[in-house]
Amino acid sequence: MAVSIDATAGGASANSYITLAEADTFVEAMISSSDVSKWTTGNDDSRNRALAAAAQRLDRERFLGARATDTQALQWPRTGVRKPDTYVNTYATGFPFRISDDYYTDTEIPDQVKRAQIEMAVYLKNNVDGISLGGLEDFKNVKIGSLDVTPATSGAIGADRVPPMFERYLTGLRISGPGNIAIKRS
């Protein structure tokens, strides 16, 4: 059965943050021509499947704020999430202040989230085996007696690892992860 994309922000049956047409536009602007050519090969269903799988992986992240509604299928849109880099420096007062539109609205999906989904979808489309990783792909050999662990040199990505750009796009939107630092008071 073919997969259809529902990118309705806050929709109860949404399965993607971005439509296939929007995804195609993002991918065309990517630097790697091999990514673009692999993305465009095949049919719309294979790209729709990659988008849906990427949205599922993206929704496993722990984001700041709270879901905008109880009925929405995906993690975004959210309330109480400040837009990264929304400080304006004024020379008159000598200190930065917040602008009034510095929080995402209850119907807004950040461009960063959409770009992270595209990065993951392109990765999944280009690495068909990447959807069902078992967790030992990073190792060429794992031996228990005398503990012999040999890392793989093929550049495989492990079960819950993601492309580096995926991580970068989510900086400032997640509770934890690379680029986000948890501060604990003593």
- DSSP secondary structure code for residue 61 in this structure: S
Q: What does the pLDDT look like over 73-126, one tens digit per residue?
A: 999 999 999 887 655 555 555 555 555 568 899 999 999 999 999 999 988 887
Q: What does the pLDDT look like over 7-37, one tens digit per residue?
A: 999 999 999 999 999 999 988 887 666 667 7
Retrieve residue 129's tokens: 């085996």
**pTM (whole model) above 0.75:** no
Residue 19's CB: how many other CB atoms inside 10 A?
16
Residue ranges of domains in the chain:
20-78+109-169
The per-residue pLDDT for 48 is 94
- Indicate the SS3 state at residue 45: helix
Retrieve residue 136's tokens: 């030992």
Retrieve residue 168's tokens: 């970068």
